[in-house]
């Protein structure tokens, strides 16, 4: 039997109605094989959690990136709530250990199937919302999701270079220059260090797996340093 008490300790969320938490981790294949039980699958919770997660992420992005246009916000949000990202969030908390599956689904590798893990993550968000309210959802995201956004984990979806260009030219028509100052690491795991300068003064430094990522992170740091974003 899954140990939801240890899970609740781990995420620091203690449910008033633990059946909601259990439902979030219950796949339809399990319900189909245990029809004599009163268990419900997580599909309705997933539907709710999808909307709650989008709101939580949207609220954060709106406040965190005041200079970002609507189209950029939409693109960034999509990269955060996409299946691949949700799977990463779920795996970090070992969600797969607690999922209730039917035998057939288990035998075909369902426990580690990306779509299934992403659905469970959304269902969990829905369960938290119903049991503890939106503030608790935000607290959870503030621990496990928002820091990754702030650290640049989704920088591939952000055009910080364009934002910096707009910010600098708002007050002065200064030239922005990017320079890769160092490459390090073996060929299969190369890292690039980029500097961004305004009027020959370094205003941001970034490290990335590609030159483009390093430049984006340098621009991001420059925006942070200048108070253009929080």
How far from 152 is each of 125, 156, 163, 218, CA to CA, in Å?
23, 8, 15, 10
Of 159, 166, 155, 149, which Cα lies nearest the Cα of 210?
A: 155
Q: CA 156, CA 192: separation in Å to the nearest integer?
A: 15
For the segment 20-77, what is each residue's pLDDT rounded down to a tens digit? 999 999 999 888 887 777 788 999 999 999 999 999 999 999 998 877 778 888 989 9
Q: Which of the residues are catalytic?
A: 50, 122
For the segment 146-201, what is each residue's pLDDT rounded down to a tens digit? 999 887 788 777 778 888 888 887 766 678 999 999 999 888 888 999 999 998 89
How far from 90 is each of 46, 87, 115, 123, 126, CA to CA, in Å?
14, 5, 11, 11, 14
> 142-179: buried (b, 16+ CB within 10 Å) or exposed (e) per residue?
eeebbeebeebebbebbbbbebbeebbeeeeeeebebe
Q: Which residue has the higher pLDDT, 109 or 98?
A: 98
Q: Residue 188 burial by CB count (10 A; 0-12/13-18/19+): exposed, middle or buried?
A: exposed
Instruction: Give the pLDDT band (50/70/90) at residue 1.
Output: very low
By the 8 A CB rule, do 68 and 76 touch? yes
Q: Chain-wide mean pLDDT for the chain?
A: 89
By the 8 A CB rule, do 137 and 129 touch? yes
Is 0.75 surpassed by the pTM of this model?
no
């Amino acid at each position: 039997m899954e140990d939801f008490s240890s899970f609740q300790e781990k995420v620091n969320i203690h449910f008033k109605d633990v059946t909601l938490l259990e439902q979030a981790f219950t796949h339809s294949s399990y319900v189909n094989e245990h029809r004599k039980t009163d268990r419900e699958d997580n599909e309705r919770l997933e539907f709710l959690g999808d909307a709650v997660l989008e709101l939580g992420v949207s609220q954060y992005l709106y406040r965190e990136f005041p200079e970002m246009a609507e189209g950029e916000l939409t693109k960034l949000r999509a990269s955060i709530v996409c299946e691949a990202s949700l799977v990463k969030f779920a795996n970090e908390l070992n969600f797969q250990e607690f999922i209730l599956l039917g035998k057939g689904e288990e035998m075909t590798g369902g426990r580690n199937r990306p779509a299934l893990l992403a659905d469970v993550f959304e269902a969990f968000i829905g369960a938290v919302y119903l049991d503890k309210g939106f503030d608790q959802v935000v607290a959870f995201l503030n621990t496990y999701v928002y820091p990754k956004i702030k650290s640049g984990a989704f920088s591939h979806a952000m055009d910080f270079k364009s934002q910096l260009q707009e910010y600098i030219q708002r007050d002065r028509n200064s030239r922005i220059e990017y320079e890769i100052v160092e490459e390090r690491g073996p060929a299969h795991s190369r890292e690039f260090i980029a500097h961004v300068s305004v009027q020959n003064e370094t205003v941001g430094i970034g490290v990335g797996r590609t030159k483009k990522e390093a430049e984006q992170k340098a621009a991001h740091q420059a925006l942070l340093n200048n108070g253009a974003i929080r």
